[in-house]
Amino acid sequence: MPTRSLAPLLPPPAPLHYPFLMTKPALILSALLAAVLLVPSLISAQSPAPTPPMGWNSWDSYGLTVDEEQFKANATVLASIQQYGWKYAVIDEGWYMANPAGHTLEERNYLWDANGLLIPVPARFPDAANGAGFKPLADWLHARGLKFGVHIVRGIPRQVVAANLPIAGSGFHAVDAADTTSPCPWDEGNWGIKDNAAGQAYYDSMIRLYANWGLDFLKVDCISDHPYRPTEIRQIAEAIRKSGRPIVLSLSPGPTQLEHAAEVAKYAQMWRITNDHWDAWAFAHSTPDGYPFGLKGDFDMLAKWYPYVGPGNWPDADMLPEGWLGPSPGMDPARQSRLTHDEQRTEFTLWAVTRSPLILGTNLTRLDDFTRSLLTNQSALFIDQYATYSRPVDPSALGPGYENARVWRASIGQPGERGYAEYFAFFNLADNPVTLRANWQQLGLDGRKHAARNVWDDSTAKESKDISVTLPPHGSALYQVQ
């Protein structure tokens, strides 16, 4: 949730010892905000992403095809739920293609300016006419309290290099910047960028133009794995710094390798830890690098990355392919998400408790009641945004029955402080129902009795020294414990 909204919602001075037992959402929100305000490092202005970015991306529902009318329709719905923290509206790949349905580079017909920088096609984005670029659209979003993002593939368009166009603000030309030995292996549009002054000048000119539009979020593809391009990551980060505008840098696709963790964290705020995540528990046929990536695999990937989670650095499990995916999703025909309701709740719970960025893939104009219930659950969202502790529980400490289960623990605030809250998420990875039992001491708390509120259905279990959870196949439960 944006930090500017915290002050008007300050909690009353009286301590709230058991916020999870209160039935009014405003009181729960008040107590959780109290904990947030006790953690100033998490809301520092030093990073453009002090908390995991939350928003919507066009890819899962529109692929290459989204136009201005469709984008604004989804952003309008996003603005209606921004009080929950949803704020980034991102146009994914293809906004510079006159014919995104084309099968070749020539048929897709990229549009660029006189300096070889990709610009939006006015036939698809009318507000971009007369050289306005995306500035009118960004202004429209900003007026509604939202932030604007776009996707690019790293590098420079091959046709720009063939024409050897000049690089704005420099004496260089496109051939000076292009690295023809490093194309994207799965996208024929661009050459890579050399690690030289010309290459830096090209990225400087690109980010300067996009920052002038009002850009707040930049997703860069074909850069964090297959291949990993640290020189271009540094160049883009430097160009953002020079622009003077706080722009979130998101690196894609994954899996980013753990040995690169320190480097990507130095330059980016988000980086993908898997290949493209789509709507299945598991895919029978995936490429060697994990495309497409199913939900079951995310448990182990997120567990590997938890030590690297912190203010300004968010390992990214990818977008949430929930609800309606259409009319033209980035993979397969239009459809209702193939994840069951139990699996969608598991996915949302896992992303929240591990503090992954929350980027929606659903078509918001067809938002169903179930999906809306996930997007507006204050407790789950507050864990994602403000947890001060988040990590998996060692299954060896829990005894038998957890062979196909996972438990994740998170907390907001510090013990004894106002608004302090503990959370435990239980996940069933098996294809059959399971009952999981544990005492609180096994889970890392003291041995006394504790009460637990189910975050999803708001039911409360009486105080006890242990907990028993029955879960459906691929199901989950999230408890707030006091």
Are 372 and 446 in a shared domain? no
Residue 333: asked if its preceding bond is cis (omega within 30°), the reply is no
- What CATH number does residue 298 fall under? 3.20.20.70
Are 215 and 228 in a shared domain? yes
Structure tokens at 229: 């391009």
Residue 405, SS3 per DSSP: strand
| C-beta separation of 98 from 119 below 8 A | no
Are 362 and 425 in a shared domain? no
- What CATH number does residue 437 fall under? 2.60.40.1180
Are 403 and 267 in a shared domain? no
Are 372 and 398 in a shared domain? no
pLDDT along the chain (482 residues), means of 10: 27 29 42 45 68 98 98 98 98 98 96 98 98 98 98 98 98 98 96 98 98 98 96 98 98 98 98 98 94 98 97 98 98 98 98 98 98 98 97 92 96 90 98 97 94 95 94 98 90
Residue 1 lies in a domain: no
CA gap 422, 407 in Å, rounded:
13
Q: What residues contact 371, with CB distance under 8 A and at least 6 apart?
A: 322, 323, 344, 362
Residue 193, SS3 per DSSP: strand
Residue 466 lies in a domain: yes
Residue 482's pLDDT is what? Answer: 84
Cα radius of gyration (the chain):
23
DSSP string, 72-109: HHHHHHHHHTGGGT--EEEE-TTTTBS-TT-SSHHHH-
**Domain boundary, last residue among 365, 387, 409:** 387
Residue 11 lies in a domain: no
Residue 466's pLDDT is what? Answer: 95
Residues in the chain, how many?
Answer: 482
Residue 267 lies in a domain: yes
CA gap 135, 120 in Å, rounded:
11
Residue 23's pLDDT is what? Answer: 37
Residue 21 lies in a domain: no
Residue 240's pLDDT is what? Answer: 98
Are 438 and 311 in a shared domain? no
Are 426 and 368 in a shared domain? no
Structural domain boundaries, residue 463: 391-481
Residue 5 lies in a domain: no
Residue 408 lies in a domain: yes
Q: What residues contact 171, with CB distance under 8 A and at least 6 apart?
A: none
Nearest Cα neighbor of 297 from 321, 330, 275, 271 is: 275
Are 193 and 252 in a shared domain? yes
Domain count within the chain: 2
Are 127 and 245 in a shared domain? yes
Are 325 and 420 in a shared domain? no
Intra-chain end-to-end CA distance of the chain, in Å: 24
Half-sphere exposure of 248 (CA within 13 A, CB side): 31
Residue 214's pLDDT is what? Answer: 98
CA gap 207, 275 in Å, rounded:
26
CA gap 218, 216 in Å, rounded:
7
DSSP class of residue 323 equals S
Are 285 and 168 in a shared domain? yes
Are 410 and 276 in a shared domain? no
Q: What residues contact 172, with CB distance under 8 A and at least 6 apart?
A: 166, 197, 198, 201, 202
Residue 199 lies in a domain: yes
**Domain boundary, last residue among 346, 369, 387:** 387
**Domain boundary, last residue among 340, 361, 387:** 387
CA gap 26, 23 in Å, rounded:
9
Residue 396's pLDDT is what? Answer: 87
The phi, psi pair for 440, rounded to 5°, reads -65, -30
Considering the entire predicted model, what is its pTM? Answer: 0.91
